[in-house]
Structure 1
Amino acid sequence: MAKFVDQNAFGIIGIGRFGLALANELLDSGKHVIALDKDESRLQPLKNKMRDLYRIDSLTKEALGETGIGDCAAAVVCIGKDLESNLLATLNLIELGIPRVISKAISDDHGLLLKKLGAEVVYPEVDMGTRLAWSLTTKNALDFLALNDNFSIVELELSHEFDGKSLKELNFRNRFGLNVITVIRDGKADADIRPDTVLCGGAIIVVAGNNEKLHAFQEFNAKHA
């Protein structure tokens, strides 16, 4: 018999600043959240927004299972400095058969251990620092997502240099070495990107590629803003 998975449910262990922000974002998106922390006071900010709050002293597989977190589509371990608790929670969430287990890491070695357990790894402080650096140094960049050390996705506002020109006319892919994922005009996203797709100044474009090529494209775009 297949294991039941609630695709709308997400578990969070550790309600510090990162965990609280994550919980609020998921709740605002209409998701069902199960939140756990050993410190009941950390659960207080969520009491008026959700019902599945658990103060938990033990991170054993059995204790975690009793909260219902094992039925979640994904669970995130937001415990930071207590490495033993972080690793134990991660291991037991994986043992519960949760499809996606994502854990916060505070160092490369810590992240390596988490990956060996089978978890996805996030580095919140590093990611936020990188996003801030891009926003400070890159004109017209609206958002940024690093997929690995060399490849990223960037959302930015196009300059009028591109107004009325198609991707084919611009020879966009060969010229800039980037893939256009989406073009957003008047709040409407067009993901059906073709060679004859016409760009316009002021539109939002989402592009993916090598970081060096992304920087070069952004500098070109900024010069013609």
Structure 2
Amino acid sequence: MAKKGADPNLFGVIGLGRFGSAVAQQLVSEGKTVIALDKDANQLEPLKNIVDQLYPIPQINKAAFEEAGIDECGTVIVGIGKDIENNLLAALAAIELGVKRVIAKASSDDHARLLKLIGAEVIFPEVDMGIRLAKSLRNRTTIDFLSLCEDFSIIEVEVSSAFAGHTVIEIDVRKKYHCNIIAIIRKEKVISNIIPNTLIEDGDVLVISGTDEDLSDFQKANNH
């Protein structure tokens, strides 16, 4: 049973790798309140100016989650990937705290079955990736593509002259296209601490998350 007083507009994101970070940023861009947790404090750094409630946690358990306020969430997304044990522990802890909806990333069919047995919803980020990739290839500047879940993806896009030479705030992809710049790849170096005055240079590759429709709008603008 969901905890009385749980907020349907409060989301917990556990595990801030590529998947969890993108989900957290997109939820914030849509006006949701997010509590984001990770055992690695370094994973919190890129989100410090985006997500208000960031918590490094010493271990995956109910006590740590409750202290961070996970029990008040209406939905929790478990983005822990390779560590299946902690993925399952995180989903179970959230469920036992009474979170109404727990969505967990699965890495295999067996993993998915275990998640379902404890009461979690399951997502496979790679599902339908081939189809979505084929669609994305229609845009000549798209370099890489990852489908995280239905209608939500991450793409790597080489910037065109339309955006090169402008700052992040000047192109303002969050306001204009409802997307989020997760990182900038510049000469094989990854810049993850994106600030409004960060200058986008010719040859940069933007790592951007958003819905497929919004990403398509951004790509069209970049291709002009």
TM-score for both structures, normalised by structure 2: 0.58
Q: Does structure 1 conserve the Cα–Cα contact (< 8 Å) formed by 2:19 and 2:148?
A: no
Deviation at 1:83, TM superposition (A): 0.6
CA distance in 2, matches of 1:5, 1:127: 33
Deviation at 1:132, TM superposition (A): 2.1
Q: Which residue pairs with 2:25 in the alignment?
A: 24
Instruction: Give 3-state SS (helix, strand or coil) of 1:97's partner.
Output: coil
Which has the higher Rg, Structure 1 or Structure 2?
1
Structure 1: stretches of 5+ with no match in the other structure: 138-143, 148-225
- Percent identical pairs in the alignment equals 57
Q: Which residue pairs with 1:48 in the alignment?
A: 49
Q: Does structure 1 conserve the Cα–Cα contact (< 8 Å) formed by 2:116 and 2:122?
A: yes
Q: Which residue pairs with 1:121 in the alignment?
A: 122
Identify if the C-alpha distance between structure 1 residues 4 and 24 changes in structure 2 by more than 3 Å, giving closer, same or farther. same
Q: Which residue pairs with 2:5 in the alignment?
A: 4
Deviation at 1:9, TM superposition (A): 0.6
Q: Confirm or deny that 1:71 pairs with 2:72.
A: yes
Structure 2: stretches of 5+ with no match in the other structure: 139-146, 151-224
Q: Does structure 1 conserve the Cα–Cα contact (< 8 Å) formed by 2:6 and 2:73?
A: yes
Identify if the C-alpha distance between structure 1 residues 90 and 132 changes in structure 2 by more than 3 Å, giving closer, same or farther. same
Deviation at 1:64, TM superposition (A): 0.8
Q: Does structure 2 conserve the Cα–Cα contact (< 8 Å) formed by 1:8 and 1:32?
A: yes
Q: Which residue pairs with 1:38 in the alignment?
A: 39
Q: How many residues align?
A: 142
Larger RCO (CA under 8 A, 6+ residues apart): 2
Identify if the C-alpha distance between structure 1 residues 37 and 145 changes in structure 2 by more than 3 Å, giving closer, same or farther. closer
Query: RMSD of the TM alignment (CA)?
Result: 2.5
Q: Does structure 2 conserve the Cα–Cα contact (< 8 Å) formed by 1:10 and 1:75?
A: yes
Q: Does structure 2 conserve the Cα–Cα contact (< 8 Å) formed by 1:74 and 1:99?
A: yes
Identify if the C-alpha distance between structure 1 residues 25 and 130 changes in structure 2 by more than 3 Å, giving closer, same or farther. same
What whole-Å deviation, never above 9, does each CA across 1:117-152 have from its counterpart, x for those lacking one? 100000012343342246669xxxxxx9998xxxxx
CA distance in 2, matches of 1:16, 1:146: 15
TM-score for both structures, normalised by structure 1: 0.58
Deviation at 1:37, TM superposition (A): 0.3
